């Protein structure tokens, strides 16, 4: 490969883009300063200074105006219009002062929530290394489930156990039973951060590289691999949630990517096992389950002996689950106990201001008041299944590699938009397969990424991550539009002027929303006005994207695509 453009070296070489990704991850894990009141203050100061200036000018101008009126009658109109303009500026300033700057008291509501995900993960480490496996999910005197009880599947518990042992090695007091609650020492935080960083580079990175290798083998045209790697690895949403907000999404998402790559390379059994691992690390991975299920079933149905194939896959799934759930299989009571922990239905249909269907329409229909939790469960389940049905049917009828990737996007989208108890962070799940599709659908990926970031903006502001948010988003945008980065041989057709205009307006409005959210207080009557507007905007975009990817998946089957052409040759 002749690299004519050296400067793209930052990401035109897989190793480079990978190490850049590590650096960016580590840096964002500093939990940077947010743009707090003191930082917004400059705007206010500048504004006040300009106002003072204007005020003095107003006086001067009025004097001048008087003298002008006396001696030269004609420019009077001009001067008065200037005066009007200045008054207008002052009016704006008044308005700004009315809504006042900074976000000091507005977010007090959130401080009620103690600690958050960081403490949860640390607490799980504490529980898992100090208690026996059967105790982990059971409420007891030594395990108070109401204090950040373990509510993820067993693989998370095992991972916490391993990381807990590591922490115990270096800093025993950070994971000691009871006494370590709320432990936040410098070294403790650093070690926790490094566990995420290391699991990211041990699980997510290799999985992505595996996917890339398979992808290169499948596509016979010249593609810019490095750009794709940069897009997948430097995904700002994943970085900021895992290394800023603190979670271990990289593990479950990495396992999913591994499963996807295994499917693309025709290793169905490996794929099954990997996906079961992902499912057992975070139950949220079930967003992808319909796509996996239907694609594999569709493949099996096309084989000579469908029953044998299906039973092989079934055995692998069963075996993996058996191994992972082994400590809880000795009694039905223990098994059901774990299961009930994994499905927290008591939390309600939606949380905060997530940009999904239920939350957005709750502006009009108060779902929580109209229906009971039971019927809401049923309603959301049926809506989810109904919306994911088209892509499932398509995969059953004509399973294809590219179609599978689209189906992943579609099923995760329908779960995000319609399922019960969705969190803002769940947007990571539709984002993952669309980042794998970045070379196919660069526009969709960029668009989704932008609005996914926006949808998490209020959450990240609460975490005081707005500075990291800004720089990560800018970095991603720069890499996305890197000169010579995406050398697509198929010249993408230029979007029409109207579409360009609409897109520009949307991007601009989202940027304005960022600024407004950071600098202004909402009116007292609607304290969550800005969150609601962000949610509405994001929901509309997500819904549009979901419709687009669904239709795209269906039109795919009509014409055979490059990936499947290649498969036929194989």
Partner 1 sequence: MEEKQSISEDSDPHSPLIELAWFSLVSSCIKILLIPSYRSTDFEVHRNWLAITHSLSLPNWYFDTTSPWTLDYPPFFAYFEFFLSLFASLIDPIIVELQEGLNYEANSVVFFQRMTVIVSDFFLHYAIYQITRKLDPEKRRFIWVLVIWSPALLIVDHMHFQYNGLLLGLLIMSISALEEGKDLLGGFIFAILLCFKHLFAVAAPVYFVYLLRHYCCGGLVRGFWRILTMGTVVMAVFAVAFGPFLYHGQIQQVIHRMFPFGRGLCHAYWAPNFWVFYILFDKILAFLLRKVGFKTQRAGASFTGGLVGDSSPFSVLPQITPLVTFTMVLLTMLPCLFKAWKDPQPRKIIRWIAYAYTCGFVFGWHVHEKASLHFVIPLAIVSMNDGNEASHYFMLSTVSCYSLFPLLFEAREYPVRVLLLLLHSILMWYGFSSRFSGPVVLSASKPSRKRNAESTSERTWATVSEDSRFGIGWIGMSYLLGLVVVEIWGQFLHPLFLKDKLPFLPLLLISVYCAMGVFCSWIWQLTWIIMSP
In the complex with partner 1, which residue's Cβ is closer, 318 or 512?
512
Phi, psi of 350 (to 5 degrees): -145, 160
In the complex with partner 1, which residue's Cβ is closer, 136 or 480?
480
In the complex with partner 1, which residue's Cβ is closer, 48 or 69?
48
Name every residue whose Cβ is closer than 8 Å to that of residue 242 and which is 6 or more positions away in sequence.
25, 196, 200, 248, 249, 250
Q: Which of 26, 130, 540, 561 binds partner 1 (CB under 8 A)?
A: 26
Q: Which of 27, 283, 540, 557 binds partner 1 (CB under 8 A)?
A: 27
In the complex with partner 1, which residue's Cβ is closer, 40 or 82?
40
Is the CB of residue 431 less than 8 Å from the CB of residue 438? no
d(CA 264, CA 262): 5
401-423 exposure pattern, b = at least 16 Cβ within 10 A, e = fewer: bbbbbbbbbbbbbbbbbbbbbbb
CB of 408 vs partner 1, minimal distance in Å: 27
Which residue carries 């800004």 as its tokens? 470
Under rule CB under 8 A, which residues in 511-540 are in contact with partner 1?
A: 511
- Report CA-CA distances (Å) from 71 to 76, 165, 228: 10, 88, 71
For residue 539, count other CB atoms closer than 10 A to its CB: 20
Stretch that binds partner 1, among 39-47, 141-149, 213-221, 561-569 (CB under 8 A): 39-47
In the complex with partner 1, which residue's Cβ is closer, 381 or 504?
504
In the complex with partner 1, which residue's Cβ is closer, 19 or 283?
19
- Report CA-CA distances (Å) from 124 to 129, 156, 188, 327: 8, 9, 14, 17
User: Does position 30 bind partner 1 by CB under 8 A?
Assistant: yes
- Structure token pair of residue 70: 């006396």
CB of 485 vs partner 1, minimal distance in Å: 9
Is the CB of residue 233 less than 8 Å from the CB of residue 17? yes
In the complex with partner 1, which residue's Cβ is closer, 306 or 484?
484
In the complex with partner 1, which residue's Cβ is closer, 191 or 271?
191
CB of 40 vs partner 1, minimal distance in Å: 10
Is the CB of residue 152 less than 8 Å from the CB of residue 202? no
The interface mask with partner 1, positions 80-109, x = CB under 8 A, is ------------------------------
Q: Which of 31, 168, 312, 368 binds partner 1 (CB under 8 A)?
A: 31
Q: DSSP states of 334-395 as a string?
A: HHHHHHHHH--GGG-SB-TT--SHHHHHTTTS-HHHHS-HHHHHHHHHHHHHHHHHHHHHHH
Stretch that binds partner 1, among 20-28, 104-112, 274-282, 387-395 (CB under 8 A): 20-28
d(CA 321, CA 313): 12
Name every residue whose Cβ is closer than 8 Å to that of residue 50 and which is 6 or more positions away in sequence.
89
In the complex with partner 1, which residue's Cβ is closer, 491 or 558?
491
CB of 568 vs partner 1, minimal distance in Å: 34
Is the CB of residue 12 less than 8 Å from the CB of residue 3? yes
CB of 6 vs partner 1, minimal distance in Å: 5
Is the CB of residue 394 less than 8 Å from the CB of residue 219? no
CB of 507 vs partner 1, minimal distance in Å: 6
Under rule CB under 8 A, which residues in 170-199 are in contact with partner 1?
A: 186-187, 190, 194, 197
d(CA 294, CA 407): 9
Under rule CB under 8 A, which residues in 448-507 are in contact with partner 1?
A: 467-468, 470-472, 474-475, 477-484, 504, 507
Q: Which of 3, 85, 88, 326 binds partner 1 (CB under 8 A)?
A: 3
The interface mask with partner 1, positions 127-166, x = CB under 8 A, is ----------------------------------------
Is the CB of residue 562 less than 8 Å from the CB of residue 216? no
In the complex with partner 1, which residue's Cβ is closer, 23 or 318?
23
- Structure token pair of residue 1: 């490969």
Total residue length of the chain: 570
Residues of this chain that interact with partner 1 (CB under 8 A) are 2-7, 9-10, 13, 15-16, 19-20, 22-24, 26-28, 30-34, 36, 38-39, 41-42, 45-46, 49, 186-187, 190, 194, 197, 467-468, 470-472, 474-475, 477-484, 504, 507-508, 511
């Amino acid at each position: 490969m002749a690299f004519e453009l050296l400067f793209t070296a930052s990401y035109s070489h897989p190793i480079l883009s990978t190490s850049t990704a590590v650096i960016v991850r580590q840096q964002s894990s500093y939990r940077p300063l947010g743009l707090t009141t003191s930082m917004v203050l400059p705007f206010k100061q500048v504004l006040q200074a300009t106002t003072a200036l204007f005020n003095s000018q107003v006086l001067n101008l009025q004097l001048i105006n008087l003298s002008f009126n006396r001696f030269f009658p004609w420019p009077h109109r001009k001067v008065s219009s200037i005066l009007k303009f200045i008054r207008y500026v002052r009016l704006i300033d008044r308005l700004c002062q009315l809504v006042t700057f900074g976000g000091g008291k507005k977010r007090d509501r959130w401080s009620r929530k103690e600690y958050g995900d960081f403490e949860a993960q640390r607490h799980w480490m504490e529980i898992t290394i100090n208690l026996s496996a059967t105790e982990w999910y059971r409420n007891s005197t030594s395990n108070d489930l109401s204090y950040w009880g373990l509510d993820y599947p067993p693989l998370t518990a095992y991972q916490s156990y391993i990381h807990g042992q590591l922490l115990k090695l270096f800093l025993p007091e950070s994971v000691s039973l009871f006494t370590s609650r709320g432990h936040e020492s410098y070294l403790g935080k650093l070690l926790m951060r490094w566990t995420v960083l290391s699991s990211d580079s041990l699980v997510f990175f290799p999985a992505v590289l595996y996917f890339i290798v398979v992808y290169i083998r499948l596509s016979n045209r010249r593609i810019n691999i490095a750009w794709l790697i940069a897009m997948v690895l430097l995904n700002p949403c994943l970085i900021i949630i895992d290394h800023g907000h603190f979670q271990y999404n990289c593990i479950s998402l990495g396992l999913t990517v591994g499963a996807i790559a295994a499917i693309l390379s025709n290793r169905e059994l490996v794929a099954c096992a990997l996906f079961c691992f992902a499912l057992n690390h975070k139950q949220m991975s079930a967003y992808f389950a319909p796509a996996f299920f239907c694609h594999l079933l569709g493949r099996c149905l096309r084989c000579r002996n469908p029953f044998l194939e299906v039973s092989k896959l079934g055995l692998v799934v069963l075996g993996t689950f058996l191994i992972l759930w082994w400590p809880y299989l000795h009694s039905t009571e223990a098994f059901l106990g774990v299961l009930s922990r994994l499905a927290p239905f008591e939390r309600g249909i939606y949380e905060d201001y997530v940009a999904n269907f239920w939350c957005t329409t709750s502006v009009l229909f108060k779902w929580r008041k109209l229906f009971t939790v039971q019927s809401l469960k049923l309603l959301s389940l049926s809506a989810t299944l109904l919306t994911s049905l088209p892509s499932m049917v398509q995969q059953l009828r004509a399973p294809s590699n590219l179609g599978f990737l689209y189906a992943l996007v579609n099923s995760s989208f329908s779960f995000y938009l319609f399922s019960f108890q969705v969190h803002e962070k769940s947007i990571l799940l539709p984002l993952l397969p669309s980042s794998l599709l970045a070379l196919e659908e660069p526009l969709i990926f960029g668009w989704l990424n932008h609005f996914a970031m926006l949808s998490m903006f209020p959450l990240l502001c609460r975490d005081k991550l707005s500075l990291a948010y800004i720089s990560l988003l800018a970095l991603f945008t720069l890499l996305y539009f890197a000169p010579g980065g995406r050398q697509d041989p198929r010249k993408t057709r230029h979007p029409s002027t109207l579409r360009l205009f609409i897109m520009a307006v949307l991007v601009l409005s989202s940027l304005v929303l960022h600024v407004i959210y950071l600098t202004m207080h909402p009116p007292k009557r609607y304290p969550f006005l800005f969150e609601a507007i962000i949610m509405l905007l994001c929901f509309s975009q997500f819904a549009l994207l979901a419709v687009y990817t669904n239709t795209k998946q269906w039109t795919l089957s009509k014409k055979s695509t490059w990936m499947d052409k290649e498969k036929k040759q194989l």
